[in-house]
Amino acid sequence: MKTIAPKPSAAAAIALALALALAGTGSSQAQACLDRRQIQEAVTSGQIMSLDAVLASAGVDSKAEVLNVQVCDQGGRLVYIIGVLTPDGQAQNLVLNAQ
């Protein structure tokens, strides 16, 4: 009997595609990214803006679903690298100034 594997949901497929795309966003040099604790400390100390503030200042639709977030040093400045799924189903990678 032939076994049919279930199809992944569209959101899971998009999340996987975003994760793979984000993995390739760096240059040929290693990109230093903060872990969750470092991100929280940077927000608390005022070194970077909160994710909500950055998304609002960039005019990102508040209904967009955030799929993943990284804060990385890019050329001497900290940036948010954010994977979002818009309400109309479009996946986007955003690179926004964190400071």
Distance CA 89, CA 53 (A): 23
Residue 48 in contact with residue 98, Cβ under 8 Å? Answer: yes
Residue 20 lies in a domain: no
Domain count for the chain: 1
Containing structural domain, residue 81:
33-97
Residue 27 lies in a domain: no
Residue 79 lies in a domain: yes
Backbone phi, psi, residue 63, to 5°: -90, -5
Q: Is the dihedral of CA 94, 54, 67, 45 positive or negative?
A: positive
Residue 71 in contact with residue 33, Cβ under 8 Å? Answer: yes
Instruction: Enter the pTM of the model.
Output: 0.68
pLDDT one-digit tens code per residue, 42-95:
999 999 999 999 999 999 988 999 999 999 999 999 999 999 998 899 999 999
pLDDT one-digit tens code per residue, 3-34:
454 444 545 445 444 444 444 444 444 569 99
Looking at residue 28, its pLDDT comes to 40
Residue 25 lies in a domain: no
